Each structure stands twice: as structure tokens, then as C-alpha cells.
Structure 1
Amino acid sequence: MNLGDKICAIDIGTYRIRGLVADVNQEQNNWRVSGLAETASAGVRRGEIVDLEEAQKNLNQLINQLEINSGYKIGEAWVNIGGLHVYCKEGRGAIAVSRANGEISPEDINRAIEAAMIMSSPRNRQNIHIIPRYYKIDDRDIVKNPVGMQGNKLEANVLIVEAFTPQFKHLQRCLEDNKLNVNGFIYTPLAVSESVLTQRQKELGVMALDFGGGTTNLTIFEEQDILDISTLPIGSNHLTNDLAVGLRIPVDIAEELKKEFGRVDLKNIDRRRTIDLSKFGGDGSVPQYEIAKIIQARIEEILDLVNKELKRVSRQHLLPGGVVICGGGAQLKGLVDLVKEYLELPVQIGNPYSEPDMSFKEISSPEWATACGIVDWVLKNKHKGITKWNANMSNIARGVTGFFKRMIP
């Protein structure tokens, strides 16, 4: 069967690729899971494709498995995009109000947003999102929705999410070669925030902390607005590498030790306890305390960087909504208490989805936050036009002349 009104979301990560098909209830604006699938990810490092052939092959496996599990033909999907090549910046665009009486219309808002986009788009960057933050009327009043208000000049302040064009095209190629039509790309931190944060938390001030395989993303909200988004070049794969080097064991065994015995609560570990490596195909044994000590050292390094980001935006210890942690690394035993100690903020694990009949109970795990968040983002923004992406930046350049003509009332 074809997807019809259903939504297919695909999360391409450094460590795993996950996909889900959501059955959408248009009247109630919610959704249920129709099918899930996940496979190992190869050819992706820190959110960037480094081996196109390997990435294509693993994505093909994911799509085939998702079609079997959901019973639907997967021909289109919403896909995440993330990594160090994606970054956010502020954009501003100002226009003259078009109506003679100075009343601001929706068309004026669109022109102001378009001005902000054009003024802020270098040739080698691809716009992913243009998100309005606030507007200023005649350089004075700051408002959220200026429609119907009066003035001579309207300025839009927007958040622009951009990707490095070559990497964006690599991702496009990977999807197109699998005959997958992309409905749109969703920036990973935005998807995660949509699935694990509440409106109340965003109003109070909150940070979503996503421990991914190759990177760690942090997204800070205050008064419902995005205050800051940062990507740190350290993820849970670094924990595996640290264990392999520190304990002198193969990487595959290090990964199994991390998943089964990984924890960051040193004071609760019996120093005499050892882990027999023969069950993982290795030789000898290692102290569990040493495993935790190595992992905790790397997590503390990540939290030091997070604290620096909070300090940079003047929000260190000042987020009443606290910290919501998610991603595969969020399942480390003792992580909540360690983050709470380091950041001196309330901390909880973000569970992205609650399945009423628990047919897909694995989707409530924090590692599914991105895939679930893609669906949530699409439902929330389907009428706002801010989930669109531009396949050809030259289209914007060709429209500049006509745009400035339209700016004249």
C-alpha cells in the first residue's frame, strides 16, 4: 500500500539509522505508530556522509525493513539533517509596509522574512529552516505577530539554519539513489526538542541535551523562543574508543561493555568486581570500576563544554525548566545525577512517545527522540511553511531583482 496521509520519518545517525511510519489523525492532530525499523549506520561520521556507497546500502536496508514492518511502500519521507556542517545564525530583513494606510499584511511579513533570507545566504550554504522569532515596527515595538498593526517599516528577525552545500548534496544523493522523494529536511536539534520538551518548559527556560553517536546537541529555549543551538564534536562513540584504548581491548568488545556495563556513578560501584571478557569473545577480565571511570571522564568533558555554552549565553544555573537528556547516551546509569551535579539544574530523561497499547514500546526510548520529533515537527508546522527546503540556491539568486522591486510600496 502507498503511504497516503501517513508520515514517514527517517533519522540518519552516526551509529544507527531509524525509521518510522506514523498514522496521523488529522482531526485530533496526533499520531500513532504503524511500523518501525532500525539498522546499523555506516559511512556517516559526526552526522556527515563520508562514504556515499556505504550510507546508501544501509539506508536501503532500513527502507526495505520499514516496508516489511509497516506494510507500506516507502517512496517519500521527512529526513533529519545534522552534524558540524549545520549551524544557526540570526537574520534580519526590513521592508517598507505596502499599504498606504500603514496596516501590516501577511504579504508584508512574507517579504520581510524573504529579505532576511536573501541578505544572509552565502553561496556555499543551503537554507534548511527560516524560523521567524520576532518583528520590529519602525525600529521600536517588538511583536510576535504584527498583522493588522500599523507602521511604515517592518523588520523581521529570524533564525536561519544552514547546511554546507556539498554535504547537503551528498545526503540528497544518498536518498535519491534509494528512490526516496524527500518531503523536507528537519534539523536534528529542532526535531529532538519537539519530541521531548513541553510548551511549559520552553516558556520557563529549558535545554534539550541530545547525546548522539558522533556529536552532542544542545538546544536552549526561553519564553517559547530558541535562544541557542550548539553542536559539540563529541558523542557516545568516543566513549567506545576511550574504552578500547584505555583497556586495550577490541572496539567491538568495548562497545558491548559500554552498552551492558556503562555507568557514571563511581561511588556506587564495587571496586573488587571484574567483568569476564570471554562472554564477549575476548580474553581476561577488566574491573567494572575502570570501565565507569573511563566513561565518566569523557562525560565530564562533555558537560564542561555544555557549561561553557550556558555561560556564553548567560544561562548557567538559570534554566527553571531544567535539562532534558535524550539520545542513545542518555541511558547510561547515573547520568541524570551526574548532569544535575555538574550543571546545577533539574534534570530528567526525555521520553519521546507514549504508545497507548505498547505495541511499539521501544519507541519510548530516548534514542528515538529524533525520529518521533520529525513527525511532531511536521504536524506542528505543516501550515506554517517553515519546514520547506530549497533544492537549488540559484533560484533565490535569480529572484533577488524581482524581490527588491516588490519591496517598493
Structure 2
Amino acid sequence: MLKLALPVTLVLILSACDSLRTLVPASSLPKIAPVNRVRLLPGQQVILPLTITPPDSGTPLAPTVVSSPAPELLSATLVGNELTLQASATALPQGLIPVTVTVSAGEKSAILRIPVEIGDLIEREYDRFNALRAQASLPAVTFDTGASMNCWMHGRYMMVNEIIGHNQNPALPFASPEGLACAKSSNVAWNEVPLSKLSVLTPSTSTLFTAPFHALGMLRPTQQTVGIGVFTVPSSYPNYARLGSGITSSGGGIPSVQRMTFPGDKATTDMGRYNGGEWPDPLTACPDLDPQKAGLPLIAATFISGATTATEATLTSAGQDIPVCAYGSMQYVNTKDKPGDYVGGLINAQDMGRNILQSSGAVFVIPKQPLEGGKTYQASVKINGQLVQWSFMTAVTFQEQSLPGTTRQQIR
């Protein structure tokens, strides 16, 4: 059991960039001191002393209400001003679970969400996210706790209702405004992962960065924050876990750089292939490409919004040509995928793909065979007639999730 001593801070709060929700003057509200993110191992318990202060008006406080959204995974009990959190001994990795503390005085109340992680998956996903940005020679971003809690809620909605997408039906279990906020603004994924690999894989980030339409939005040079939320349940496949996740990339305006490539120039990547499952499908514009052999999609972006065309694309290693399929927004064709369900209505897959490429002035170059480890590659492509050239290396040993058959996934 862990017992944490927290600093006393008698202020109007936003817990780890999330929520004390109110529209009334702070002086008339009760106050709750902020509580930092909590991490528990399965079966572990922690006691958090809460600092609660009545409003300046002197209105007496009603009993504090504490609620866990998933008591079967994480129980929350309050004795006096000490909050006890207990992770289930059988809980799979989760995070961030929002435990809600509500303090009322008269008709006014303050609400605090305490972010709780079971296991260390979210921390590893965050480290992996920044490591993959580094593979594009891009800076690290900070962690968005509030967005991460929202995406845990949307992950649960997706897994329980067996739906993956960017919308929620309020009539279904676990629909919520917070989950919908994640759905509308995040990359979302559904992964099947061997239980024996949960402690080493980073299914959400590694999967999404091999999916070029989704990777592009996480590779903006001006991005400032990322929220990562994962809800995990046992899979119907023996000895597998099923994960519903969301990644929210936020912040920054129009990049001042003239281009971005992934992998970056002179950078080293530890991924070698496309893992599949992306909507819109990036391979529909490459009819002669075997989906089982597709290499890691390469990305070149100018960040000049407008229609793009890819021509004269090449990829070589040690003087040997590697066949590729390259396309821009004007060349992307997809008549296979069903429309996607978004707030506001259905969106055609081809239109979505073209819009993503156009908004970043980007093209994709997809090798027709997996990249090999320990190699140096030279890539080039003309974007609207302007030549982009770069070289990159591959690690001697690829990250495990970049190997065939390790996981199954759907990406939206």
C-alpha cells in the first residue's frame, strides 16, 4: 500500500490540466487541491489525502462524493478526507481512469477528476510516441492528462459496444460527452495483442505510426501535446487482450518548416512494414502491391495546403532499386472502403484520404516489400514537380510490433 503526502494548495484548480468545472465566481465555490496522476500495479492500493476548503461565504460543505467509472477495475472509497484507491488484482493495463471527486456547498459544487493508470502502458506509449517523432527529427511533446482520460472513456465505449469510430451513440452503454470529445478529435484504434506481449509492446502508437493517414497528423512539427488513453479487456482469442485506444494530438499553428519526411533525413527507424487495418486504406491506390508485403509507408510533406501529385518516386539501398507505389491527393483512389461515421454524418473514404494529403501538402511513398534491418536507404519523390530527397537508416533489430503476425488491428 502506498500513502502519499500531497501539498496543500488552496486555489481554484484544474487537475493536471483537466477539470474543476464551474461558471461561477471562485470565491463562492468550495475548493479541492490538485492531485497528480496516480499509477498503480494490479492489486496495489494507495491512500491520497484530499485538501478540501469551504467557500469564502461560509456555506457548509455537503458530504464529499467520490466515484470510480469502473469499480470492477479500480475501487475508490473516502474516509474523512482520505481517498483510498484499490486496483483489481486481475486488472489488465488501463489508463487514464478518471476518478471523480465532487464537493458541494449549497447549490454550488466543484468537480475534480483524478487520473489513474493501472500498470505502465500509458507511460510506455507516451515514451514511444516521442521516440517515433524523433525518428522524423521532430521535438517531443508534453502529455495531456485530460485528453488521456477522455480517450480511456472512448476506448471503453468502443470495446463494450464493439464499435470503432469517431462518433458515439448516446443510447449505447458508456457514451459520454468526455468520450465523444476524444472521438471527434483523435486517432482511434482497436488492437488484439498477445497477453504475454502487453508488458513490452506499445500497440497504440506503434500501430498508428505505420498507418500513413494517421501518422501524418502526429508528425506535425508544431504539435505541442498528446493525450493517450487505452481501455483493455480480455479478447475472444485465447491468450490475447483487446485494446481500444485514442490518441489526441493538439497545439501549434502552420509549421514554418518547408518540409517533413518520415523517417527523417539521416534518422534511424526501427519499423519496417505496414501492419494493415487503416481506414482509409492506404493501399487502394496501389493495385499491384501485395498487402502482406507492404513496407513502412514513407511520408513527405511540404505543409503548403493544396492538391498534391507524386511523380518520379524512387527508393534505393546499396545501389539496388526497391519498387514503390507513390501518390498524392490527386492520385489517391479508394472505392473499396465504406464511409466513416463522424459527428455530422458519413464521410467518403476517398474524400477523407485526399483531404488529409491535401491539408498537409503531402505524398506517400510505399515500398512494395518490407524494409530490411541494418540498411541505409535513399528516397526521392517530386511533389508537384519539386524534388524532395532524403536518406535514412533502419535499425539492426526492428521493434517487435513491426514484425508480421504480432498483432491484429483496426485503425480509424
- Report which of the two has the higher share of helix: 1
The answer to which structure, 1 or 2, has the higher relative contact order (CA under 8 A, 6+ apart) is: 1
TM-score bracket for the superposition, by shorter chain length:
under 0.3
- Report which of the two has the higher share of strand: 2
With normalisation by structure 2, the TM-score equals: 0.23
With normalisation by structure 1, the TM-score equals: 0.23
